[in-house]
Amino acid sequence: MQAQTERENFVEKLGRAVRAGKNGKNRKDLVINIAVSVVSALLLLVGGVCFYGEYMLSQVRYAEDPPAVSQQSRDPSQAESSAGAEISQPVVSDWLQGDATLVNGLYHDDAIMNILVIGVDNYQANDVGRSDSMILVSVDTRHQKLKLTSIMRDLYVQIPGYGSNRINSAYSLGGPTLTVQTIESNFGVDIDRWVIVDFDAFTHTIDKIGGVTITVSDAEADLINQHSGESWENALPGGGTYRLTGLQARYYSRIRAIGDDFERTQRQRNVISSLVEEFKSADLGSINNAIYSALGEITTSISKNEILQLAANSLTYLNYPIEQNRLPIDGGYTNERVMLGGSVAQVLLPDLRLNSEEIIRFIYTDGGDASSEPAA
């Protein structure tokens, strides 16, 4: 009864305030009531945004974060360049200056979030397949940079529990968990989270954002026209700088007929860098559409709360300068032929010490781009 009386008194006061406002009286009360109404509307709007955000996040497939690789799996007594060996402890303390510390034998910095992005194609039903691309994205809030490190799939390394193989085989053997463990145990960097992206999500995101600006050669343009699946109405007339559609950018990043895998990973970094630039200038509606179109095709160990935190700071992160690197580094590997699956295969045998030291330097210091451009 008391609550009902209070509501009736409130309604009566609001009515008097409105009538007084019409008569030019008690304008202060009217302003206060209008302010209350505006604040209420804003709260409803914020509530709606939060609800929609929760709905969008519910489209993502979440998975448990893989366990850390302990120092015990990284035996310092093993030879540094042997494919069957784990990496010995890199001597890098002089450059790190205390910013990063060893946690379970891996270099870690709370101000740097390392996210392994794994691109996967569905070649056939019920086939896990291999990781088609691996890029370690380091969100470095200490030095205010975004750092991209391509990990070449033909690296011949020790896969924990399975022996020596190409690094992209780790995905088919043990999914993202084993992929993360393989990179950690060989190169000594702590990977905080992982994201698996179906290439369809890659295509949809680029289309929703309006394309990406990429410079292509005559040969690349010809292959894109023939094999990307894009209509001939959007065919590229030749080499030059264009806004590629999702299908065109997807095929461009996967070209193997030109150059080698070094150039292929550079193309992938080119597309990601351009996509980040597009997000910087896009309107909120385009960004929302791009994100929503991709959510159902993403699996990640990043939690909802972490995604919300990243989203809240996304405008800051997107304005960080982008730096690029690649494993293996120039001068840090040899081309070898090994037996895999009963046949001879060409692989890249890394010098684990050199590559580990370089990736730790690149991620945990303000060092800048490494001299790891693709071979000519």
| Position with higher pLDDT, 49 vs 27 | 27
Share of the chain above pLDDT 70, in %: 70
Q: Cβ(67)–Cβ(302) under 8 Å?
A: no
Q: What domains sit in the chain, N to C, each tagged with a CATH number?
A: 2-57 (no CATH), 61-364 (3.40.630.190)
List all residues 6 or more positions away from 300 whose beta carbon is below 8 Å from its beta carbon: 60, 61, 62, 63, 193, 194, 195, 196, 307
**Distance between CA 314 and CA 333 in Å, rounded?**
36
Q: In whole numbers, what is the pLDDT of the chain averaged over residues?
A: 77
Q: What is the pLDDT of residue 75?
A: 39
Q: Per the confidence metrics, is the pTM higher than 0.75? A: no
**Rama region for 190: left / alpha / beta (φ>0; ψ in -120 to 50; rest):** beta
Q: Is the pLDDT reported for residue 78 higher than 70? A: no
pLDDT tens digits along 221-278: 999 999 999 998 899 999 999 999 999 998 998 887 887 777 888 888 888 888 888 8
Residue 282 token pair: 């896009």
Annotate 87-115 with b (16+ C-beta within 10 A) or e (fewer).
Answer: bbebebeeebeebbeeeebbbbbeebbbb
Q: What is the pLDDT of residue 295?
A: 72
**Distance between CA 235 and CA 311 in Å, rounded?**
35
Mean local confidence (pLDDT), 316-339: 91
pLDDT tens digits along 172-205: 899 999 999 999 999 999 999 999 887 777 788 8
Annotate 178-201 with b (16+ C-beta within 10 A) or e (fewer).
Answer: bbbbbbbbbbbbbbbbbbbbbbbb
| Position with higher pLDDT, 75 vs 358 | 358
Residue type, 324: Q
pLDDT band at 102 (very low <50, low <70, confident <90, very high): confident
Residue 358 token pair: 């370089």
Q: What is the pLDDT of residue 291?
A: 73
pLDDT tens digits along 49-68: 455 556 666 767 777 654 54
Question: Half-sphere exposure of residue 302, counting CA atoms within 13 Å on the CB side?
Answer: 24
Residue 77 token pair: 């007594």
pLDDT band at 26 (very low <50, low <70, confident <90, very high): low
**Distance between CA 79 and CA 353 in Å, rounded?**
9
Three-state SS string over 114-131 comes to: EEEEEEECCCCCCCCCCC
